[in-house]
Amino acid sequence: MAESIKQTVVALVENKPGVLNRVASMFRRRNFNVDSLTVGRTHKPHVSRMTIVVDAARTDGRRIAANLFKLVNVIDVKLVSEEPHVSRDLALIKVRTDDAESRNTVTMLCERYPARIVDMGIKVAIIEITAQEDVVEAFIHELEPIGIVEMVRTGVVAMGRGVRILDADYEPPVRLGETNGNYQVYGV
């Protein structure tokens, strides 16, 4: 199987109801396939950050970025996979540890990877790993012979290295009748 090349798109969006639905609808309409989609708050309460990972062989990240930028509630879009960046994926993995050999193997694997045991029971252990996606994949592959009972992954989050000017300067638009600070905006 050929290794797929991933592209990572980061979008800053207004933190409002319906924004995720608009983005998902755009993906559906354009027939884009998403490998990973994560959404979270930023340091500004009115701005959320979406990190979207796609397989470059099936979908062009530049096309996704261009289509995202057309959406009303999108503030900024960046294809971070084309610049120096940091990306991480978090996984919680429950594995069988019903004998001493499996417990020892799990402990040794956690020492080799950026992973730690967060819960050890009589029959199962829960392991947490936060690393680049390929490292998480390799760790999961090594745990498979032991017996994975359950697993959950957050999806990739990424951040370009350096400074982003727009995020620091963005203020959401004020619409008629909305309160802006201590006064109400009535119109211009």
Query: Which pLDDT band holds residue 49 (cuts at 50, 70, 90)?
Result: very high
- In this prediction the pTM is 0.76
The C-alpha torsion from 142 through 55 and 86 to 69, rounded to 10°, is -150
Give tens-digit pLDDT for 138-170: 999 999 999 999 999 999 999 888 765 555 555
Contact 79, 95 (CB under 8 A): no
Among all chains, which residue has been given the structure tokens 């490292």? 135
Contact 117, 125 (CB under 8 A): yes
User: In terms of Cα–Cα distance, which of 22, 15, 37, 17 is closest to 72?
Assistant: 22
Q: Which domains does the chain have, with CATH numbers?
A: 1-83 (3.30.70.260), 86-157 (3.30.70.1150)
Higher per-residue confidence, 171 vs 90: 90
Predicted local distance difference test score (pLDDT) of residue 21: 92
CA distance 7 to 57: 10
